[in-house]
Each structure stands twice: as C-alpha cells, then as structure tokens.
Amino acid sequence: SEAHLPIAVVPHLGQIFHGKLPLSSVMQGVGLPVSSLPPHRPSVAPVALQHDGGRAGMQRRRPGGGSAALPGSAPPAARSPSMPPALPKLGVEPPEGWEASVELPGAAEAATWSLLERDLYLQSNGVYHPGEMVRLRRLAPAQGCTASREVRGRASVVAPTMGSRAHYHEQLWACFEAQTWPDKELVVVETHQAAPSAFFSRKAKEDSRLVFVSFDVGGLEEDFTVGLKRDMTLHLASGEFVVNFDDDDIYSAGYMQTMVGELQTRGLVALTLSSWFNYFESTGVCGYSSADCWEEDEIEDNLFGFGFSYVHRRSFGLSCPYPNVDFAEDAPFMYKLKELCGDAAVGLRPDTEGLCMHIVHRANSTEDPTFSREVPHEELLTLEARANSCWPSLWYHMPHFVWKWSLALPRGVCS
C-alpha cells in the first residue's frame, strides 16, 4: 500500500512492483531503514503505478498477463521516461581547501542525519542545525518532519538572498504571490550583517506560506555561498517540486503552472529554459538570448547553467545537492542530474511567451549574457511577464537616465 511507504520510495514503486528492484534495496538507497518496511502481504496482487502529470493510474495485474483498471482509478497514462531506481546519496562538495572547524553534535543526534544534513552543519560552521531547521518545514504533524518527507503536488519556490538585496524582497514576494499554482510555498534563506529583511520578517508573521530563515554572518570570516544557501532551501522545502526564483527577476503569474506542468507531462526530473528575455539595466535594452548567439563551446553551459529558471523534483535535488561555491554553482547541479538520471531526464524549454524577464545589472554574479536580437517595444507589450504588478512599465517609455532616477522615488510618485 502506497500509504504505508515513506514518500521517498514512491517514485520507484513501478519498478518495485514489476519485480525489477527489491523494496529493501530501494529503502537502503534512499537512506531509510529496512526495519520500517510494512508487513509483507503475499495475497495482494501487485499494482503498477504509471505517472501521468502527477496522477497515479493504478492497474491490477491479471494472472494470465495484461491488466485491468482498478475501480475509480485514472485511465492508463502514456509511459514517461524511466527514472533511476535509486540515486546515490551525494554530499555537498566543499570549497577547495576547506577544512571542518566544528564537530558534529552528539552521536545519537547526528546518527539520524543524512549526508546532506551533516554537510550543511559542518560547512556552515554549525550555524545551520538540521535538527532545528527541519522543524520549520510546512508538514502536518502526522507526516513527521524528517527531510525526506514531502507534500505531493506542492511546489516550493526557493530563493537564496542577502541583506544587501533587501530592496528586491517585495518584488520576490509579489512574483510568488501572483503564481496560479494552487499549493505553493516560498522558502527564503537570507544572510545579513546588520538585521534580517524587514519585509520578510513582517510577512512571515502574516502568511504561513513563507518559510524565512535569516542568519547573521557578521561574526563569520565570510558569508555563506550561494550554493550552500540553495542547499539549505532544498532542505527546508516541503514540496514535491522545487522552482528556483532569483530575487531580482520578474516571473509571470503562469510561470509555475507552465514549467511544473511541463515537467510532469514529459516525466522529467528537471527542466530549465533554453532561451529567454533579458533586460539590461545599464543600457535600457531588452535582448533575447538563444543558442544561435552563443559560441559552439558555450552552448551547453548556457543551456544548463542559468539557475534562475531551474525546476526539478525535490527528491532528486536532495540526492545531488549544489556545490558549496559562490559562482557557477548552477551548472554542476544540472550536469550531475544528467549524469545520474540520463540526458533525457533533464529537459529544455524555449521561452517564447515571455514567462520570465531576466534582469541583468551590476550586482549579478554572472557575466552579461549575449543576445541574438534586440526586442522591440511592440513585442514587450505582449510578454506574459508584463502582466505582473512588478513590471516597471515606465522602463520602455523614457530615456535611460530618467527611469534610473524614477526608480529611486517612492512608488506612485514617478507615475
């Protein structure tokens, strides 16, 4: 019975029931004790689960072969790309030359932690305590609060940020709140040297869909890297799906519905945009980036190396977390998924509708992306992201120096 199995085992049920994998091997592969197995019931015929956009169509096997649909079940779904039976549990790759400066807490407590949780504790110098942080996850008490538990159908928007980027936080919330996906949450991990984000501190008291964790890193030798903070958001997320948002980019209301929906329909482990719209603050130009403007040796890195549009299944992200680096942490994450799950499990999608506007400014950690064409004003008016309340409509109606000045004014004054 699916209801009696840990959620981490559910993606592998098809192969278990088809006899391709013993359940005990899968349990060990996802880091769960075999002792938690439900009692064996040989009298129950095996059930095959087929994935169809998040719905499980169940079929009872007939003794002579073939199958019959169970009463009330969904019709058989088209077969999706095969998922790996059990991914190896990889830890967080530390920075070059890193050495642990703290020790794990008591043996009894640390023994229950996964490799990811141990690395989060050690590589944050004990600041991120998995045993405490896991209690912040949005799970019903009956589900338990262990990191492997998830809420089926929920999508977790995750965003690392810092105190110096507090002016983007209201925009990040507005992009999240506008999303039409029904069961959603926003997980934000912030580091600061003065005070936590005033906006998110207030919003966390008003809206339970926000999981906001802020760390004072003023007393540390250096800030946590973007990669480490991304791994913290994965640990805190409670959704079956993870959607990366950059705090400075603008996402259309249908972004999650489109991206997560396509991930489900295609049976993918992960999905990212293969082309997108950019707004360059320094010039006031909007450009469209696609493979035809990149050098041949840059194409793959550009296709899979921009994390602002990553969408993936959380269970697979926990198995191969981001490296603990501050620059270019995105591509290694996607390449590892492709290596472990197969190229077909990681998909690409061109953005022709304007699902997202990637904002390029001096504070970006990556180089300015090249673009194949400049987007005319008439086309900008048709982009889906333009309907977002964050869309600065004045950008494209005034000279560059004028809109730069207008952004410094309170909302409403410039209009």
> What digits encode the pLDDT tens for the residues 86-129?
667 789 999 998 988 899 988 778 888 999 999 999 999 999 99
Higher pLDDT, 109 or 338: 338
**How big is the chain, counted in residues?**
415
**Helix (H, G, I), strand (E, B), or coil: what is residue 210?**
strand
Residue spans of beta strands (DSSP E) within 62-102: 67-69
Question: Which tokens in the block code for residue 82?
Answer: 């095969």
Q: Is the per-residue pLDDT at 301 higher than 50?
A: yes
Helix, strand, coil percent content, the chain, rounded in steps of 5: 35, 20, 45
**What is the rounded distance in angstroms from the CA atom of residue 171 to the CA atom of residue 164?**
15
pLDDT tens for 363-375 read: 554 555 677 788 9
Q: When comparing pLDDT for 70 and 28, which is higher? A: 28
**Closest C-alpha to 370, from 305, 293, 273:** 293
Tell me what the mean pLDDT of segment 8-27 comes to.
56
Is the pLDDT higher at 152 or at 15?
A: 152
Task: Quickly count: other Cβ atoms within 10 Å of residue 284's Cβ.
Answer: 16
HSE (side-chain half, CA atoms, 13 Å) at 338: 18
> Mean pLDDT highest for which of 31-35, 82-86, 278-282, 401-405?
278-282
Q: Provide mean pLDDT across the span 380-406.
A: 64
Mean pLDDT of the chain: 79
Cβ pair 119, 92 in contact under 8 A: yes
Residue 247 reports pLDDT greater than 80: yes
Q: Which residues neighbour 413 within 8 Å (Cβ) at sequence distance 6 or greater?
A: none
Say yes or no to pLDDT of 2 above 60. Answer: no
What pLDDT does residue 148 have? Answer: 85
Given pLDDT bands bounded at 50, 70 and 90, which one contains residue 411?
very low
- Model pLDDT, residue 397: 38
**SS3 for 115-146, per residue?**
HHHHHHHHHCCCCCCHHHHHHHCCCCHHHCCC
- Position 94 scores a pLDDT of 93
Q: Residue 332 above 90 pLDDT?
A: yes
More confident residue, 296 or 138: 138
**Other C-beta atoms lying within 10 Å of the C-beta of residue 338:** 17
CA distance 242 to 157: 6
pLDDT higher than 90, residue 206: yes
Question: Radius of gyration over alpha carbons of the chain, in Å?
Answer: 23
pLDDT tens-digit series, residues 143-178 = 666 788 999 999 999 999 999 999 999 999 999 999
Who contacts 219 (Cβ-Cβ below 8 Å, separation ≥6)? none
**Residue 252, helix vs strand vs coil:** coil
* pLDDT on residue 30: 56
Does this model's pTM top 0.85? no
pLDDT at 367: 54
**Residue 197: pLDDT above 50?**
yes
Tens-digit pLDDT profile for residues 39-87: 443 333 333 333 333 333 333 333 333 333 333 333 333 334 455 556 6
Weakest-pLDDT range from 106-115, 240-249, 271-280: 106-115
